[in-house]
A and B are shown apart, each in its own frame.
Chain A
């Protein structure tokens, strides 16, 4: 059974700081790994998708890496802004295209 863990559970940083969010998964037999952003009470916004054959993906100030053999993914956010404040979720895609989510990292970027 796939289990996904995200560390830290919460993070507060000053504006402009670079930061790293961590995601680990127990079963390396994944099709892909996806990072999402969730604002309070809202749905999920897809940020980055990394296929199992890829090592990283970049979109603007976001960079996600994937190391299947060690069961880890990281989301790097450069030059953080107050608008980045949200909960960040990672999800590993396994059989039947089932996404298994972590519990998220709640990020607050302060002025």
Chain B
């Protein structure tokens, strides 16, 4: 069975641009969460979606948005990119999102220049 897949693997963008990151959860999992990990730090929670509804949002500006599709895949969008948005973006998949084990993808490395 395929695990959590994220695309693209690496991305270089210029300040002010927009970026879309994609995530496909494990088959049968209905919850997807997004995390940002800057170098040397633990991942920080951005969003959680379950059954296409936003269930939680972390302390990130409105430039960050996400959505979940009927097939449970998800997109993370970031507008007006800043240098500080450079990070590894991780997607986590879980069965229901409530008290169930989270499985992570390999991440998307975003570099903003």
Contact = CB atoms under 8 A, between A and B. Distances in A.
Interface of A: 4, 31-32, 34, 36, 41-46, 49, 51, 89, 91, 93, 95-104
A100 B58 CA distance: 11
Given A44-B43, A49-B101, A103-B40, A98 B106 contact: no
Interface of B: 4, 6, 31, 33, 35, 40-45, 48, 55-56, 58, 88, 90, 92, 94, 97-107, 109
Binding site of A, secondary structure by majority: helix, strand, loop or mixed? strand
Contacts of B94: 97
Contacts of A42: 106-107
A43 B6 CA distance: 10
Contacts of A103: 40-42
B103 A97 contact: no
